[in-house]
Amino acid sequence: MQISKGVEWACHAAAILMSLPKDRALRADSLARYYDLPSAYMAKQLQALSKAGITQSTRGARGGYRLAKSPEDINLWDITTAIEGNKPVFRCTEIRQNGPCRFDKNSCKKACPIAKSFALAEKAFRDTLANINLIDIAIIFAQDTHEEDILKGSAWIQKEAVPL
C-alpha cells in the first residue's frame, strides 16, 4: 500500500510553480533539474497535472508549465488523484458471493461491512488531503526554512523561467 513517487514529485513541482511570476512558465526539464529528478519521468507527471487542470502548459519554443489556478484552489488530494487516479484503496472482491455459504443476491444488496469500514477510512484520508492546499504548504515551508534557502530557490526559478 504505497503512494507512487510521482505524487511526491508532482506536489513538489506544484509547490515550485507557486513562486513563479504570473507571466512566466518553467520547462519540464527545469522542474526536473530543480531537485535532480529523472527528466523523462518527471515530464510524465507534469503531463498528468495538466490533464487534471492543475497546471497549464504551453507547447513549442518558449513553452513550459505554470499553475492553471490560484494556489489556494489546488489541494493535495487533487494532485494525488491527478497522478494515481482515484480507484479505491481497498478493493472489495465480494468474496461473500463465493463458497459453500455464499449469499443469495438479496443479502448482498448492502455493501460488505468490511468494505464499508475501509471506505470510511479512505474518506478520512481523502478529506485530510483535500483540506490542505498549496498556500498551506507554502506557509509551513516559509516558517520552517532559512530565508537564505528560500531566496536561493526563487532566484534559481527566476533565472530558469521562460517569459511568455
145 DSSP 8-state letter: S
Among 62, 73, 114, 164, binds its own copies (CB under 8 A): 114
CB 30 within 8 A of CB 109: no
Q: What is the CA radius of gyration of the chain?
A: 20
CB 34 within 8 A of CB 159: no
Among 41, 149, 158, 164, binds its own copies (CB under 8 A): 149
Binding status of residue 100 toward its own copies by CB under 8 A: yes
Which of these segments, 40-48, 116-124, 128-136, 137-145, binds DNA (CB under 7 A)? 40-48
Binding status of residue 144 toward its own copies by CB under 8 A: yes
For 3, 6, 115, 117, 129, the CA distances from 122, given in Å and listed in that order, are: 13, 20, 10, 9, 11
62 makes contact, choosing from its own copies, DNA, none, with CB < 5 to 8 Å by partner type, with DNA
Of 8-37, which residues contact DNA (CB under 7 A)?
A: 27-29
Under the rule (CB under 8 A), what is the footprint of its own copies? 1-5, 7-9, 11-12, 15, 33-37, 76, 84, 87, 89-93, 95-96, 98-101, 103-104, 106-107, 110, 113-114, 116-118, 120-122, 124-129, 132, 136-137, 140-141, 144-146, 149, 152-153, 156
